[in-house]
């Protein structure tokens, strides 16, 4: 029997309900509210996010703009647990709230900040101007100090949940922190499911997030192969790469479409290409597989964990093998079971499967 508890979800400084770091929490509150009292605390969030979450049934939404209002609301609702993620500003806020209330806190590790210097790993020229200026300023702060603070903030929390085994391993190795459990981000498989009986001659190419974690030159090589094979190139992700690509090759950038339309696009595509190397999970691969479409990715980090090589997608070791595998896939009919792909994704990443694991951790508070 599931014990009914009062769960608070904290989102701060977010504008869009469609950002990858926001979507897990929105999906969870929908399911958690069926058995528990769920409160969504929006601290200095944008109008679009507020409007979307206020439509969720059985969830009490608190839209707050000052720290004192947030404290008062938390104390008033007498929570058992308050959950947020490890985005640095929210992690600091969560720790500050813990010091001012008696509420136990849980942090969902999906950013994995301070595992490396972003200046050394990512191309910051692919970031937005605001983010680029922020990271330029950060290079004057000794990296070890940032890492030390991140570790200290994590140790202040009562529960630590990793978004993948890869993330859990890095927490162990880099920080000596043992996560309470592992919960994959939830995918709404009622929306992301097969919606087309036939595949079109098109491929979805993911350009990565705003974090600049994708090689622009390598993306261009991929697109040239797709063009030469006569495939329509549907791109999504990093806007800067998208703009630069359009000047060099014909692509079809996807606008900000609804999840329903995105699921249809995945379903109609032969393949989804994800050439990122620093993804602790990978929402795009998971959503594509949920729609029955295989994924081509590097055999590292999150994709290596969630893709079954040869069954739900293709994992390769290096760029040469990536391009060779892509060419091979395009030249022949893919002998892969699309129904198996979607069933596998539903069993692993559905809202139901993810929320069940999260619930098992939170009710033990």
What's the pLDDT tens digit per position in 142-180? 667 778 888 999 999 999 999 999 999 999 988 899 999
Beta bridge partner(s), residue 162: 109, 182
In this predicted structure, what is the pLDDT of residue 257? 82
Check whether 265 has a pLDDT greater than 80: yes
Same domain, 256 and 300: yes
- Separation CA 7–CA 23 (nearest Å): 17
In this predicted structure, what is the pLDDT of residue 316? 96
Q: What mean pLDDT comes out for the span 185-195?
A: 95
Domain that holds residue 25: 6-186+350-362
Decide if 197 is inside a domain: no
Residue 322: pLDDT band with limits 50, 70, 90: very high
Residue 209: pLDDT band with limits 50, 70, 90: confident
Round the average pLDDT of the chain to a whole number and report it: 89
Residue 139: pLDDT band with limits 50, 70, 90: low
Same domain, 32 and 11: yes
What's the pLDDT tens digit per position in 296-315? 999 998 999 999 999 999 99
Decide if 123 is inside a domain: yes
Give the count of alpha carbons within 13 A of 76, CB side only: 10
Same domain, 18 and 136: yes
In this predicted structure, what is the pLDDT of residue 345? 97
In this predicted structure, what is the pLDDT of residue 92? 94
- Residue 174 near residue 116 (C-beta atoms within 8 A): no
Does the predicted TM-score (pTM) go above 0.95?
no
Number of C-beta neighbours around residue 51 at 10 A:
10
Residue 271: pLDDT band with limits 50, 70, 90: very high
- Separation CA 134–CA 13 (nearest Å): 16
CATH at 284: 3.40.50.2000
Same domain, 128 and 43: yes
Domain count, the chain: 2
Q: How many residues are there in the chain?
A: 365
Check whether 203 has a pLDDT greater than 60: yes
In this predicted structure, what is the pLDDT of residue 83? 97
In this predicted structure, what is the pLDDT of residue 127? 59
Same domain, 242 and 157: no
In this predicted structure, what is the pLDDT of residue 131? 62
In this predicted structure, what is the pLDDT of residue 124? 56
In this predicted structure, what is the pLDDT of residue 185? 95
Give the count of alpha carbons within 13 A of 222, CB side only: 30
Give the count of alpha carbons within 13 A of 14, CB side only: 26
Q: What mean pLDDT comes out for the span 133-148?
A: 67
Q: What mean pLDDT comes out for the span 31-52?
A: 93
Same domain, 327 and 354: no
Q: Can you say how many angstroms the Cα of residue 9 is from the centroid of all Cα atoms in its chain?
A: 17
Decide if 192 is inside a domain: no
Decide if 132 is inside a domain: yes
In this predicted structure, what is the pLDDT of residue 138? 60
- Residue 339 near residue 292 (C-beta atoms within 8 A): yes
Check whether 44 has a pLDDT greater than 70: yes
Q: 363 or 112, which is more confident?
A: 363
In this predicted structure, what is the pLDDT of residue 18? 80
Q: 269 or 140, which is more confident?
A: 269
Q: Kindly report which listed range (178-192, 200-214, 250-264) carries the lowest average pLDDT score.
A: 200-214
Residue 214: pLDDT band with limits 50, 70, 90: confident
Same domain, 252 and 302: yes
Q: What mean pLDDT comes out for the span 110-134?
A: 61
As given in the structure block, the two tokens for residue 94 are: 């969560």
Rounded percentage of the chain residues whose pLDDT exceeds 90: 67
Same domain, 297 and 355: no
Same domain, 160 and 280: no
- Find tokens 């504008």 and name the residue: 15
In this predicted structure, what is the pLDDT of residue 104? 95
In this predicted structure, what is the pLDDT of residue 102? 86
Q: SS in 3 state form for the chain?
A: CCCCCEEEEEEECCCCCCCCCCHHHHHHHHHHCCCCEEEEEEECCCHHHHHHHCCCCCEEEEEECCHHHHHHHHHHHCCCEEEEECCHHHHHHHHHHHHHCCCEEEEEECCCCCCCCHHHHCCHHHCCHHHHHHHHHHCCCCHHHHHHHHHHHHHCCCEEEECCHHHHHHHHHHHCCCCCEECCCCECCCCCCCCCCCCCCEEEEECCCCCCCCCHHHHHHHHHHHHHCCCEEEEECCHHHHHHHHCCCCCEECCCCCHHHHHHHHHHCCEEEECCCCCCCCHHHHHHHHCCCCEEEECCHHHHHHCCECCCEEEECCHHHHHHHHHHHHHCCCCCCHHHHHHHHHHHHEHHHHHHHHHHHHCCC
Same domain, 45 and 159: yes
Decide if 355 is inside a domain: yes
In this predicted structure, what is the pLDDT of residue 66? 95
Q: Kindly report which listed range (247-261, 309-323, 346-360) carries the lowest average pLDDT score.
A: 247-261
In this predicted structure, what is the pLDDT of residue 65? 94
Decide if 196 is inside a domain: no
- Separation CA 214–CA 277 (nearest Å): 8
Same domain, 137 and 209: no
Q: 54 or 125, which is more confident?
A: 54
- Separation CA 264–CA 259 (nearest Å): 9
Same domain, 161 and 234: no
- Separation CA 303–CA 108 (nearest Å): 19
């Amino acid at each position: 029997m599931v014990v009914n508890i009062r769960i608070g979800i904290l989102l701060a400084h977010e504008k869009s309900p469609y950002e990858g770091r926001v979507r897990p929490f929105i999906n969870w509150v929908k399911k958690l509210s069926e058995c528990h009292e769920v409160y969504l605390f929006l601290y200095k969030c944008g109008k679009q996010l507020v409007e979307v979450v206020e439509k969720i049934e059985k969830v009490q939404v608190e839209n707050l703009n000052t720290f004192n209002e947030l404290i008062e609301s938390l104390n008033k609702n007498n929570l058992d647990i308050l959950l947020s993620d490890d985005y640095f500003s929210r992690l600091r806020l969560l720790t500050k709230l813990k010091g001012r209330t008696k509420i136990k806190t849980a942090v969902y590790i999906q950013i994995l900040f301070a595992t490396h210097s972003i200046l050394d790993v990512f191309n910051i020229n692919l970031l937005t101007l605001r983010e680029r200026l922020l990271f330029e300023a950060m290079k004057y702060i000794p990296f070890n100090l940032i890492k030390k603070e991140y570790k200290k903030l994590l140790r202040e929390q009562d529960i630590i949940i990793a978004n993948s085994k890869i993330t859990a391993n890095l927490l162990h190795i880099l920080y000596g922190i043992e996560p309470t459990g592992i919960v994959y981000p939830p995918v709404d498989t009622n929306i992301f499911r097969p919606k087309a009986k036939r595949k079109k001659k098109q491929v979805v190419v993911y350009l990565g997030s705003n974090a600049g974690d994708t090689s622009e030159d390598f993306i261009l090589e991929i697109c040239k192969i797709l063009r030469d094979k006569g495939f329509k190139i549907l791109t999504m992700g990093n806007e800067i790469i998208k703009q630069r690509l359009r000047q060099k090759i014909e692509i079809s950038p996807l606008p900000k479409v609804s999840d329903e339309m995105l699921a249809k696009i995945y379903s109609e595509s032969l393949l989804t290409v994800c050439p990122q190397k620093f993804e602790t999970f990978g929402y795009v691969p998971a959503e594509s597989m949920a729609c029955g479409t295989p994924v081509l990715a590097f055999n590292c980090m999150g994709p290596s964990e969630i893709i079954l090589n040869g069954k739900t997608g293709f994992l390769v070791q290096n760029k040469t093998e990536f391009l060779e595998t892509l060419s091979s896939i395009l030249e022949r009919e893919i002998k892969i079971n699309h129904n198996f792909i979607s069933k596998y994704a539903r069993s692993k990443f559905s809202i139901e499967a993810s929320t069940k694991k999260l619930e098992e951790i939170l009710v033990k508070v």
